[in-house]
Amino acid sequence: MKLLENKVAIVTGGSRGIGEAIVRKFAANGAVVVFTYHSSSDRANAIVEELTADGSQVLALQSDAASFTAAEELIKEVVGKFGKVDVLVNNAGITRDNLLLRMSEQQWDEVMSANLKSVFNLTKQVVRPMMKNRGGSIINISSVVGVFGNAGQANYSASKAGIIGFSKSVAKELGSRNVRCNALAPGFVGTDMTDALDDKTKEGFISAIPLRRLAESEEIANACLFLGSDLSSYITGQVLSVCGGMNT
């Protein structure tokens, strides 16, 4: 039996990077996967086509995670189609890096909306269906910089630290209903997001990582599979660092 057989999973921001790896990993492990994207429709459709041809049940929907009403409509559609939600991965996220001295209100607000409000939006909508279904696993993608901060990322670090406080609170509220909620804190992962960093910054980060390399997206997806499956049935309210030892 596959680890996510008979489970319905939603992954936000599944068209690229870590989210795409999670979609692939969940589909390979038997889940029905619905993933969202913001604007990469061609890429999202190509992923659906490929995974469907392999026999998986995968659906992509354009949905802005920062929008409360879009989240409401998304969950309604998924529950209407598949009857339940077992796993929610709040993965969608952006960066708008700048030193605080130069950071605009817009850069602050965009990051807070896409990274933190999105987690509230989606989580709020799955609470009822998960309670009705007598269980569920919510995985919120934070970051090591949400734990120890990073110069030039006050907005991003604050959003990722907020996710940790949110996840622990939700775990305490919903534990008695068998709904688990954990945060996953990746270190630096090789995706479009980190490709934007210059080589000198990247080298600096890598030298501070005990495993001396960036993570592959699949390594983050493996931890998500663990948190989304019943293998982690007694784990809630935790922050799982997948950071090559950076946060040690």
Query: Which residue numbers are catalytic?
Result: 156
Tokens 């952006």 sit at which residue? 94
User: Three-state DSSP class for 156?
Assistant: helix
Q: How far is the CB of 156 from ligand NAP (least distance, A)?
A: 7
110-149 footprint of ligand NAP as x/- string (CB under 6 A): ----x--------------------------x-x------
CB 19 within 8 A of CB 92: yes
Q: How far is the CB of 141 from ligand NAP (least distance, A)?
A: 4
Q: Does 47 bind ligand NAP (CB under 6 A)?
A: no
- Whichever of 37 and 166 has its CB closer to ligand NAP, that residue is 37
- Whichever of 2 and 46 has its CB closer to ligand NAP, that residue is 46
Q: Vertex 141, ends 137 and 142: CA angle to 5°?
A: 130
Among 61, 193, 206, 235, binds ligand NAP (CB under 6 A): 193
Q: Does 17 bind ligand NAP (CB under 6 A)?
A: yes
Q: How far is the CB of 185 from ligand NAP (least distance, A)?
A: 7
What is the spatial distance between Cα 205 and Cα 247, in angstroms, rounded to a whole number?
A: 12
What is the spatial distance between Cα 155 and Cα 146, in angstroms, rounded to a whole number?
A: 10
What is the spatial distance between Cα 134 and Cα 243, in angstroms, rounded to a whole number?
A: 32
**Token pair belonging to 12:** 């936000």
Question: Would you say how long the chain is, in residues?
Answer: 248
Which residues lie near ligand NAP (CB under 6 A)? 12-19, 36-40, 64-66, 91-94, 114, 141, 143, 186, 188-189, 191-194
